[in-house]
Amino acid sequence: MLTSVLPTLDPLAPMLAAGCLAALLLHAAWAKLTDSSLFHQHLAAYGLPEALQPALVWLLPLAEAAAALGLVTPLRGPAALMAASLLGSYGLAMAWHLAHGRVLDCGCGGAPLKLSWALVARNAVLSLVAMLAALPSTDRALGWADYAVATATVALASLLYAAFNQLLRQQPAGAASSPSPTGRSPA
């Protein structure tokens, strides 16, 4: 019933969205799992209840990994909704802290990246990409050219994502407030 009102896409479009998100989520999960003590510090800085932090240190990156793996299986739809939920939740948490004048590291995994409205917008866009991956597609058979395009797209999207994050890291000192030990903007 719901699928009758949703657009039906060429199968390449949701496959591209799913591939790009899978690469992103696997990278994020790996970074968090390989430095769980740093991720625990991020959870504490975000003010999550202390009793939940030890479980969330493992559950969140495992949920990211599960969504990533699901995106490249026949469970793409539910995995895409899970990815959209995770990315949207992270974006809302970032927005809340920014709105309250808190300056934190995003905790996204990888090199430090200070919270910004650009990161909130990035997560909103990524949530929309996840929703694209959840849309139904036609039964057109995919050929070798489709897989070549998908491989190139995931590689290019990964490079563009890394470049975007690097640009945010290189903001001039006056462009954003410096973090204080309390996590509050110095004002």
Q: Where are the domains of the chain?
A: 10-168
pTM: 0.82
DSSP secondary structure code for residue 181 in this structure: T
pLDDT at 131 over 60: yes
pLDDT at 187 over 60: no
pLDDT at 177 over 50: no
- 89-111: average pLDDT: 90
Q: How many CA atoms lie within 13 A of 173 on its CB side?
A: 0
Instruction: Share the mean pLDDT of the chain.
Output: 86
Q: Which residues lie below 8 Å from residue 42, measured CB to CB, with a gap of 6+?
A: 104, 105, 107
Closest CA to 168 of 129, 122, 127: 122
> d(Cα 113, Cα 33) in Å, to the nearest integer?
18
Q: Phi and psi of 9, rounded to 5°?
A: -105, 160
